[in-house]
Structure 1
Amino acid sequence: MIWLTLLAMALLVFTSRYLFLEPRLPLRLNAQAQKLLSYSSPAVLTAIWAPIVFLPEGELSVSWHNPYLVAAVVAVLLAWKLKSVLLTAVISMAVFFLLSFL
């Protein structure tokens, strides 16, 4: 049953991507639908990182003792100032590991 579910999900994802990416198909989205879909990536990413940063142990933790929150704030500030993805990722991970293990 699990394999059937996985195959069905893979087929659904492939079909939905193929319909929009194949240039020979006559399917086109209007400007309003494209604008609406432009918000999906930030929404999905926020849904992934927000619980990790604000609920690290299952309950709300908004203090400087939360290494996830401190590293996230450092990452935001570094990204804003440095404009370098690699440097931001490396430094913010180092900050997180230092705070987690000290």
Structure 2
Amino acid sequence: MILLSIFAMTAVVFLSRYLFLEPRLPIKINPSAQRLLNYSSPAVLTAIWAPIVFVHDDKLAVNLGNPYLIAAVIAALVAWKTKNVIATTILSMGCFFMLNTLL
């Protein structure tokens, strides 16, 4: 049953992506729907990283003892200044591992 669920979810995800990404299919989205879909990626990414950064042990953890928060702020600053994905990833992960061992 689990394997069937995995295959079904795979099919749903693949088909939903394929319908929008295949240029030969005659599916057109109106401009307002396209504008609305521009916000979906940042919304999904925020829904993924926000609980990781701000919530620990089912409590809001917004303090200087939170290595996730400090590394996220460093990552945002590095990304803003350098606009380099590799530099942002390496520096923020390095800072996180260092903070995680120290704190």
Q: TM-score, normalised by structure 1?
A: 0.93
1:79 and 2:79 matched: yes
| Equivalence for 1:48 | 48
Mapped contact 1:53–1:72 kept (Cα < 8 A)? yes
For residues 89 and 22 of structure 2, what CA distance do their matches in structure 1 show? 34
For residues 22 and 88 of structure 1, what CA distance do their matches in structure 2 show? 32
- Runs of 4+ more than 3 Å apart: none
Q: Post-superposition shift, 1:22?
A: 2.1
| Equivalence for 1:97 | 97
Could you list the runs of 5+ residues in structure 1 that have no partner in the other structure?
none
Mapped contact 1:71–1:92 kept (Cα < 8 A)? yes
Map 1:1-102 to 2 at 5 A: 1-102=1-102
Q: Post-superposition shift, 1:62?
A: 0.4
Mapped contact 1:56–1:68 kept (Cα < 8 A)? no
Q: Post-superposition shift, 1:11?
A: 1.2
Q: TM-score, normalised by structure 2?
A: 0.92
**Given residue 49 of structure 2, which amino acid in structure 1 is its aligned partner?**
W
Identical amino acids, percent of aligned pairs: 61
Equivalent residue of 1:64, what SS? coil
**Given residue 73 of structure 1, which amino acid in structure 2 is its aligned partner?**
V
**Given residue 31 of structure 2, which amino acid in structure 1 is its aligned partner?**
A
Count of aligned residue pairs for this structure pair? 102
Per-residue deviation, residues 18-75 of structure 1 (Å, max 9, x unmatched): 2222222211101111111111100010001000000133211100110000001111
For residues 79 and 19 of structure 1, what CA distance do their matches in structure 2 show? 32
Could you list the runs of 5+ residues in structure 2 that have no partner in the other structure?
none
